[in-house]
Amino acid sequence: MTDAPRLLLIDGHSVAYRAFYALPVENFATSTGQHTNAVFGFTSMLINVLRDERPTHLAVAFDVARQSFRTEEYPEYKGTRAKSPEEFTGQVTLIKEVLDALNVAHLELPGYEADDIIATMSTRAEAEGFDVSIVTGDRDAMQLVTDHVTVLYPRKGVSDLARMTPSTVEEKYLVPPARYPELAALVGETSDNLPGVPGVGPKTAAKWLTAYDGLDNIVARAEQIPGKAGASLREHLGDVVRNRRLNALVRDLQLDTTVAATERHDWDRARVHELFDALEFRVLRERLLELAPAEETQAEAFEVRGGPLAPGAVGAWLEAHASGPTAAEFVGHWGSGTGDVIGIALAAGDGEGAWLDTAALTPADDAALASWLADPARTKYVHGAKGPMLACWARGWELRGVAVDTLLAAYLVRPDQRAYDLADLSLRLLNRDLSLAADTTQDPQAAFDFDEDSDRDAEAALLRSRAVFDLAGALEAQLEEQGAASLMTQVELPVQVSLARMERAGVAVDRDRLEALRGEFDANVSAAQQAAWDVLGHEVNLGSPKQLQGVLFDELDMPKTRRTKSGYTTDAEALEGLFAKTAHPFLGHLLAHRDAIRLRQTVDGLLAAVADDGRIHTTYVQTIAATGRLSSTDPNLQNIPIRTAVGRRIRSAFVPGEGFESLMSADYSQIEMRIMAHASGDAGLIDAFTSGRDFHGEMASLVFGVEPGDVTGEMRARIKAMNYGLAYGLSAFGLSNQLKISVGEAKALMEDYFARVGGVHAYLAGIVDEARRTGYTETMLGRRRYLPDLTSSNRQRREMAERAALNSPIQGSAADVIKVAMINLDRAISEAGLASRVLLQVHDELVLEVARGEREAVADIVRREMTGAFDLLVPLDVSVGVGQDWESAAH
């Protein structure tokens, strides 16, 4: 690095395309369906070069269109380039939004390419005394390299950049940078569809350029160049001259932006957070914020008073300072249904703080702390209370009186945010840095006077407790403003307690049965592999995409799937589509092999999760799905297969534990459609539910205009797909894929459906219109989801937001209903003095462990509380089954 100002120039389209093909498109999409692999790769590259190059100035250049002055002269220019993949559409617009949020200049000029803009800006900057770095995958930029201009050329994807200096250009291309376009004019450029001289390669071209001192002399003395190569040159001399004219970058464009105007500025922090939330770039945001300019880190410090309490002082401190709202930051570990508390940092409303080391508590301290924690009248603020609740139970304490969980509150306010880290929330909402503390204690020895080895946690915890206290106030105000305060107090906090109880209880499993299933699935893997090999007549690695591509598309000459950078895709969706088209036995065995591996992996995960008590303790997460649905993790017990008989057998390994006689499964029937009927008020839907007959059959009778007895299986299947698809914003294209019919047939079916249930059609259209007007959708209980893309000028993003707008109120209301049911069910079982308990929540299903002699009483309570969870225009129907394992309890 020199002391000169440093300009970084990036070829936007070049890097975006490389990022798109470097990262698997199927692995990068938002919950609304927007593909983001190009945006992710571009942003990741940008972070890397900002870190490594430390530019003082920055600009990104984009192509406006494929048309330029070069295509006007030579229409075949870049004519071999394929149309941009559909998944790439809209991602350049998103990249520009990222740049806008970062206050980065981006330039484009009709009739010219990004290369020309970069050449002009680079030439100007070098003349003004700048050092320039250019990130591009276009080799034409090599002509710009000088002692002060470096090209960073992607070698692999966009993460590995080769630094091209004058010496490295000459080493690689055998000519100095200024001669590179002359060499390219002779050799040709395949990516630009510029044909070179047949039989003339880089070595010959470089030899000529050296011997004749440049291309002009070669052209002028072409008759003197001997041999076949000379004859070929003379025959294609016109191509060479044209190539040189086209690959010369324009260095004197009239641009609106000056080099000085590209100086880096402060970022728009709010816009960065909003955009990265929408893109679901949690890790990238963290990496980006580490690079924030100095101005971005000038957040205020937290004012922290207090320190570790002396043994025996806990009761007096709590009495003096913690009678009002108090934030508690628990330090310890929790998971798998249990945990432990190492210490607790408290932040009171009067500004005082305290650190309680649980290992140093006297019996009097322990009793005072336990009493305060358990007192529901002592208001507490916690960030993520469920884990500390488990840890408190393990110590014999109760944690009650949590009025605000700042983790849940932040989720309710911003449900599409991917993470709710306390430090991040502090910066966003309070403009305070969690790493900074202003020591305002009256006793300098009392605050942060900790042993260096053992009390770093205490210092950080005191800061975090003060952050939680301040955040609680800010978030309470936002909850009130958005009408979500009751969701916090009446739904999310109570269901959090229910989930903690479920996690602590866990669910018993029959390990021997799991081991047997594991062995069976392992044998199925081997059998399917051998069967696939037998069809081919030779062995192949069924887990290798490259080998599968060779077998499928070369050896078996099957129809090509979607093209990726590494070849034609062999993902599950593509292979299932191929099998539907070809019915080739190899594909059947390959799909069976993958299914068997997936089942074996599921069983392996369950076996690894069995705790010492013989039970599996999953962890439920309330803050992942923007619709409000709960998620299960470590292990995911909501993902146990149910669609195949073989997969359902895994459920047979879940059994009642010691002291319990059976498992009970209770689930809502067609809850999304019942909510749809209630919300839309459509008479057809309401009549179909209140008839007491088969709902899908009744709807098929209505749509097809036949008597219920004349409804065929195919009619019912088509309407069933329509019914369920309504809650997911189903399109004609999606319906056609589901039913294996043409898009035209699917569209006609949807038109017939909506002609019969006009209230549904009006309701769905109204949802989108209202969300576009207000910016959000809302469930029956007022749970909001904000969808700013509803007004986006990008058609793809707008349509994805519209599908999310259709989906969220119905799915979110269903999630709210079952949460209310869980809360009421927990309370009713407790009030009845029963030992039975809820163990699992799997979306619309609850699984209970039934104690001896309580079956009928529990069944009555379950039906009453689940059907009465919400008052709809149609009945909430609940199916209840009991068995000796989860599978046999199904109904």
The CATH number of residue 569's host domain is: 1.20.1060.10
Query: Would you place residue 453 in the very low, low, confident or very high pLDDT band (cuts 50, 70, 90)?
Result: very low
Place of tokens 């945006």: 39
* Segment 122-132 mean pLDDT: 95
Is the pLDDT confidence value at 891 over 80? no
- The 3-state DSSP class for residue 151 equals strand
Rounded to 5°, the CA angle 487-491-493 comes to: 100
Burial of residue 547 (CB within 10 Å: 0-12, 13-18, 19+) is middle
585-609 and 511-536 helices, crossing angle to 10°: 160
Which residues touch 402 (CB under 8 Å, ≥6 apart)? 380, 381, 382, 385, 493
Is the pLDDT confidence value at 450 over 60? no
pTM, rounded to two decimals: 0.79
> Does residue 271 or residue 836 have the better pLDDT?
836
Q: Are residues 461 and 579 in the same domain?
A: no
Is residue 385 domain-resident? yes
Q: Are residues 116 and 76 in the same domain?
A: yes
Q: Which pLDDT score, from 0 to 100, does residue 69 have?
A: 85
Is residue 863 domain-resident? no
Is the pLDDT confidence value at 384 over 50? yes
Is the pLDDT confidence value at 440 over 60? no
> Does residue 744 or residue 380 have the better pLDDT?
380
Q: In the chain, what percentage of residues exceed pLDDT 70?
A: 96
Query: Across the chain, what does the average pLDDT equal?
Result: 90
Query: Of the ranges 261-265, 409-413, 499-503, which one carries the lowest mean pLDDT score?
Result: 261-265
Is the pLDDT confidence value at 465 over 70? yes
Find out whether 179 and 159 touch, Cβ atoms under 8 Å: no
Is the pLDDT confidence value at 441 over 50? no
Separation of first and last alpha carbons in the chain: 71
* Segment 804-827 mean pLDDT: 95
Is the pLDDT confidence value at 605 over 60? yes
Q: Are residues 138 and 18 in the same domain?
A: yes
Q: Which pLDDT score, from 0 to 100, does residue 573 have?
A: 81
Is the pLDDT confidence value at 631 over 60? yes
Q: Which pLDDT score, from 0 to 100, does residue 292 have?
A: 67
* Segment 578-603 mean pLDDT: 93
Is the pLDDT confidence value at 480 over 80? yes
What distance in Å separates the CA atoms of residue 689 and residue 157, rounded to the nearest whole number?
55
Tell me which range, 284-293, 546-555, 797-806, is most confidently predicted by mean pLDDT.
546-555
Examine the fold and report which residue of 581, 609, 637 is the final residue of a domain before the chain moves on: 609
Query: Would you place residue 565 in the very low, low, confident or very high pLDDT band (cuts 50, 70, 90)?
Result: low
Is residue 789 domain-resident? yes
Q: Which pLDDT score, from 0 to 100, does residue 87 have?
A: 82
Examine the fold and report which residue of 593, 609, 625 is the final residue of a domain before the chain moves on: 609
Query: Would you place residue 456 in the very low, low, confident or very high pLDDT band (cuts 50, 70, 90)?
Result: low
12-22 and 37-53 helices, crossing angle to 10°: 120
Tell me which range, 54-63, 65-74, 558-567, 802-811, is most confidently predicted by mean pLDDT.
54-63
What distance in Å separates the CA atoms of residue 701 and residue 709, rounded to the nearest whole number?
8
Q: Are residues 475 and 336 in the same domain?
A: yes
Q: Are residues 315 and 390 in the same domain?
A: yes
Q: Which pLDDT score, from 0 to 100, does residue 756 have?
A: 86
Q: Are residues 583 and 466 in the same domain?
A: no
- Looking up residue 330, the CATH number of its domain turns out to be 3.30.420.10
Is residue 641 domain-resident? no
Q: Give the residue numbers spanning the domain of 338.
A: 299-482
Q: Are residues 455 and 356 in the same domain?
A: yes
Q: What is the identity of the amino acid at 223?
A: E
- Looking up residue 750, the CATH number of its domain turns out to be 1.10.150.20
Examine the fold and report which residue of 239, 262, 285 is the final residue of a domain before the chain moves on: 262
> Does residue 52 or residue 867 have the better pLDDT?
867
Is the pLDDT confidence value at 75 over 60? yes
Which residues touch 225 (CB under 8 Å, ≥6 apart)? 208, 218, 233, 234
Q: Which pLDDT score, from 0 to 100, does residue 1 have?
A: 57
Find out whether 371 and 321 touch, Cβ atoms under 8 Å: no
Beta bridge partners of 348: 326
What distance in Å separates the CA atoms of residue 640 and residue 606, rounded to the nearest whole number?
10
Place of tokens 């070669």: 218
* Segment 829-836 mean pLDDT: 97
Query: Would you place residue 436 in the very low, low, confident or very high pLDDT band (cuts 50, 70, 90)?
Result: low
Q: Are residues 469 and 600 in the same domain?
A: no
What distance in Å separates the CA atoms of residue 193 and residue 326, rounded to the nearest whole number?
70
| Structural domain count of the chain | 4
Q: Are residues 692 and 759 in the same domain?
A: yes
Query: Would you place residue 270 in the very low, low, confident or very high pLDDT band (cuts 50, 70, 90)?
Result: confident
* Segment 168-197 mean pLDDT: 90
Count CB-CB contacts under 10 A for residue 3.
6
Q: Which pLDDT score, from 0 to 100, does residue 727 have?
A: 59
- Looking up residue 49, the CATH number of its domain turns out to be 3.40.50.1010
Query: Of the ranges 241-255, 297-311, 412-426, which one carries the lowest mean pLDDT score?
Result: 297-311
What distance in Å separates the CA atoms of residue 269 and residue 293, rounded to the nearest whole number?
11
Longest dimension (CA), the chain: 107
- The 3-state DSSP class for residue 263 equals strand
Query: Would you place residue 443 in the very low, low, confident or very high pLDDT band (cuts 50, 70, 90)?
Result: very low
What distance in Å separates the CA atoms of residue 397 and residue 440, rounded to the nearest whole number?
32
Place of tokens 């650190």: 355
Q: Are residues 101 and 63 in the same domain?
A: yes
Q: Which pLDDT score, from 0 to 100, does residue 490 have?
A: 97
What distance in Å separates the CA atoms of residue 583 and residue 241, rounded to the nearest whole number?
55
Is residue 51 domain-resident? yes
Q: Are residues 551 and 471 in the same domain?
A: no
Tell me which range, 184-193, 524-533, 634-643, is most confidently predicted by mean pLDDT.
524-533
**pLDDT per position as a tens digit, 327-365:** 999 999 999 999 999 999 999 999 999 999 999 999 999
Long-range pairs for 727-731: beta carbons < 8 A, 24 or more residues apart:
727/672, 727/673, 727/676, 727/806, 727/807, 727/810, 727/811, 727/814, 728/803, 728/806, 728/807, 728/811, 729/802, 729/803, 729/804, 729/805, 729/806, 729/807, 731/803
What are the CA-CA distances from residue 251 to residues 126, 170, 461, 718 (Å)? 12, 22, 57, 62
Is residue 194 domain-resident? no
Find out whether 61 and 8 touch, Cβ atoms under 8 Å: no
User: How is residue 391 written in tokens?
Assistant: 């840890």
Count CB-CB contacts under 10 A for residue 716.
18
Query: Would you place residue 299 in the very low, low, confident or very high pLDDT band (cuts 50, 70, 90)?
Result: low
Q: In the chain, what percentage of residues exceed pLDDT 90?
A: 60
What distance in Å separates the CA atoms of residue 155 and residue 70, rounded to the nearest whole number?
27
Query: Would you place residue 300 in the very low, low, confident or very high pLDDT band (cuts 50, 70, 90)?
Result: confident
What distance in Å separates the CA atoms of residue 689 and residue 704, rounded to the nearest whole number?
17
Q: Are residues 68 and 162 in the same domain?
A: yes
User: How is residue 778 written in tokens?
Assistant: 């809302």
Is residue 646 domain-resident? no
**pLDDT per position as a tens digit, 1-32:** 568 899 999 999 999 999 998 888 878 888 77
Q: Which pLDDT score, from 0 to 100, does residue 88 have?
A: 85
Is residue 734 domain-resident? yes
Half-sphere exposure (Cβ direction) of 806: Cα atoms closer than 13 Å = 20
What are the CA-CA distances from residue 529 to residues 355, 588, 594, 785 (Å)? 60, 11, 9, 46
**pLDDT per position as a tens digit, 487-519:** 999 999 999 999 999 999 999 999 999 999 999
